[in-house]
C-alpha cells in the first residue's frame, strides 16, 4: 500500500512539473516569435533577459514542487562571491538526472541561467527547439570525419559557426555547463572504460575545449562543481518524485581562466591537446579524492 501511495504521489509530482513546464514554454515561444520578427540587437537583448527570468521562475516552480514531497538535506558549499551578472563555465561530475535539477535549484538567480551546447539538428525539435533558440542555448554544428573527408573545404567551419553563434552572449551574462564525463556515472561504465578513478569516469576534453575556444575570453571563471549523494546510490528522477531525495552535497570551487587555455588550437595542435588533457585529468584526480572525502565525512 505504501509503495502504491508513493507511486501515486510521484505521478502527481510529475504532472505538476509538466504543467509548470507548459506554463513556462508558452510565453517563451511567444517571445521567440517577437524576437524573430524584430531582429534588432537592443530589442533582442531585452527579450533574452525576459526569457531568462521566465526560466528562473520555471526552476523556482519545480523547486517548490519537489520541496513539498522531499525533506532533502542540502549541504552546499562555495556559493559566496557568485554573481548573476558574470559569465561562467561550469564543469561537474554526473551521476543521475537529479544532478541537473539539484544544480538548477542551488544556482538559480545566483549565476546566469544554465545553458548547454545543443546539436544544431535539435533546433527543429517541436516546441522545445524554438524554446532553446529563444533562450539562446548555444547550438553547435559538428561535421563527421567521413563528411570532412569528402568535403575538406568544410574543415573548421563548424567551429567558426559555433563561435559566431556565441557572440550574442557578449551582451548578456551567460553560464555554460559541461558534464565532462559525457554520460552519467555507473560502476559498469567505470569498468568498461577502465577508469582509474573510483567515483568518476575518465574526463572528455572536447566539450570544455569547444566552450573555451568559442567563448573563453568572455568567461570570468570556471566553476568546478562536485556532487555527492551520501547514504546510498544517487537518486533517480522517479525517486525524487516519490519523495526519496534524502541528501546531497554540492561543493563549488572557482578556478581562473588561464591565458594558455585561450591561446591553443585543441583540434590542430597535438602538444596543446596533451597539455589540456593533463590539466583536466589533474582536476579529475582531485575531484575523485574530494568525493571520497565528502562521502566519508557524511558517513561519520
Q: pLDDT tens digits for 44-90?
A: 888 988 999 999 999 999 999 999 999 999 999 999 999 999 999 99
**The total number of structural domains that make up the chain:** 1
What pLDDT score does 264 carry?
84
In a domain, 39, yes or no: no
pTM of the model: 0.89
**Reduced 3-state DSSP string for 55-98:** HHHHHHHHHHHHHHHCCCEEEEECCCCCCCCCCEEEEECCCCCH
pLDDT > 90 in the chain, percent: 61
Q: Print the domain residue range for 225.
A: 72-299
For residues 288 and 268, is the Cβ–Cβ distance under 8 A? no
What pLDDT score does 143 carry?
62
In a domain, 3, yes or no: no
Give the confidence band of 279 by pLDDT, cuts at 50, 70, 90. very high
In a domain, 179, yes or no: yes
Give the confidence band of 210 by pLDDT, cuts at 50, 70, 90. confident
Nearest to 30 by CA among 137, 131, 123, 132: 131
In a domain, 139, yes or no: yes
Residues 6+ apart with CB under 8 A from 7: 242
pLDDT > 70 in the chain, percent: 91
Question: How far is 93 from 280, CA to CA, in rounded Å?
Answer: 12
- Mean pLDDT, rounded, for 23-52: 88
Check pLDDT > 60 for residue 272: yes
What pLDDT score does 147 carry?
62
Check pLDDT > 60 for residue 267: yes
Question: How far is 33 from 133, CA to CA, in rounded Å?
Answer: 11
Check pLDDT > 60 for residue 97: yes
- The enclosing domain of 147 has a CATH number of 3.40.1130
What pLDDT score does 144 carry?
62
For the chain, what is the mean pLDDT?
88
Question: How far is 200 from 178, CA to CA, in rounded Å?
Answer: 15
- Mean pLDDT, rounded, for 199-213: 89
Backbone angles phi, psi at 73, to 5 degrees: -90, 115
DSSP at 186 = -
Check pLDDT > 80 for residue 8: yes
In a domain, 132, yes or no: yes
In a domain, 257, yes or no: yes
How many C-alpha atoms does 35 have within 13 Å on its Cβ side?
Answer: 21
In a domain, 277, yes or no: yes
Instruction: Pick the most confident of 29-33, 53-57, 139-143.
Output: 53-57
In a domain, 260, yes or no: yes
Q: Which residues pair with 114 in a beta bridge?
A: 175
Q: Does 3 or 148 have the greater pLDDT score?
A: 3
Cα torsion 127, 129, 130, 133 to 10°: value is 160
- Mean pLDDT, rounded, for 174-180: 91
Check pLDDT > 70 for residue 298: no
Q: In this structure, what C-alpha cell is assigned to residue 97?
A: 538526472
Check pLDDT > 90 for residue 282: yes
Amino acid at each position: 500500500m505504501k509503495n502504491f501511495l508513493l507511486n501515486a504521489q510521484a505521478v502527481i509530482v510529475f504532472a505538476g512539473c509538466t504543467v509548470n513546464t507548459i506554463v513556462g514554454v508558452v510565453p517563451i515561444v511567444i517571445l521567440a516569435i517577437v524576437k524573430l520578427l524584430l531582429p534588432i540587437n537592443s530589442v533582442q537583448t531585452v527579450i533574452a533577459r525576459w526569457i531568462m527570468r521566465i526560466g528562473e521562475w520555471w526552476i523556482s516552480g519545480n523547486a517548490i514542487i519537489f520541496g513539498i514531497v522531499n525533506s532533502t538535506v542540502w549541504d552546499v558549499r562555495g556559493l559566496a562571491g557568485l554573481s548573476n551578472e558574470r559569465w561562467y563555465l561550469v564543469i561537474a561530475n554526473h551521476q543521475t538526472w537529479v544532478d541537473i535539477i539539484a544544480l538548477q535549484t542551488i544556482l538559480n538567480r545566483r549565476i546566469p541561467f544554465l545553458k548547454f551546447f545543443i546539436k544544431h539538428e535539435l533546433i527543429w525539435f517541436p516546441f522545445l527547439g524554438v524554446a532553446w533558440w529563444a533562450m539562446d542555448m548555444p547550438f553547435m554544428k559538428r561535421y563527421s570525419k567521413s563528411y570532412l573527408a569528402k568535403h575538406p573545404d568544410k574543415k573548421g567551419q563548424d567551429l567558426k559557426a559555433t563561435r559566431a553563434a556565441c557572440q550574442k552572449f557578449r551582451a548578456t551574462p551567460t553560464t555554460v555547463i559541461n558534464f565532462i564525463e559525457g554520460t552519467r556515472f555507473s560502476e559498469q561504465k567505470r569498468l568498461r572504460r577502465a577508469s582509474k578513478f573510483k567515483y568518476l569516469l575518465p574526463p572528455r576534453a572536447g566539450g570544455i575545449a569547444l566552450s573555451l575556444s568559442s567563448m573563453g575570453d568572455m568567461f570570468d571563471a570556471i566553476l568546478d562543481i562536485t556532487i555527492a549523494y551520501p547514504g546510498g546510490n544517487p537518486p533517480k528522477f522517479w525517486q525524487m518524485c516519490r519523495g526519496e531525495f534524502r541528501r546531497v552535497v554540492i561543493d563549488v570551487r572557482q578556478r581562473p581562466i588561464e591565458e594558455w587555455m585561450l591561446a591553443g588550437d585543441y583540434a590542430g595542435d597535438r602538444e596543446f591537446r596533451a597539455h589540456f588533457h593533463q590539466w583536466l585529468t589533474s582536476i579529475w584526480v582531485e575531484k575523485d579524492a574530494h568525493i571520497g572525502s565528502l562521502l566519508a565525512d557524511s558517513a561519520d
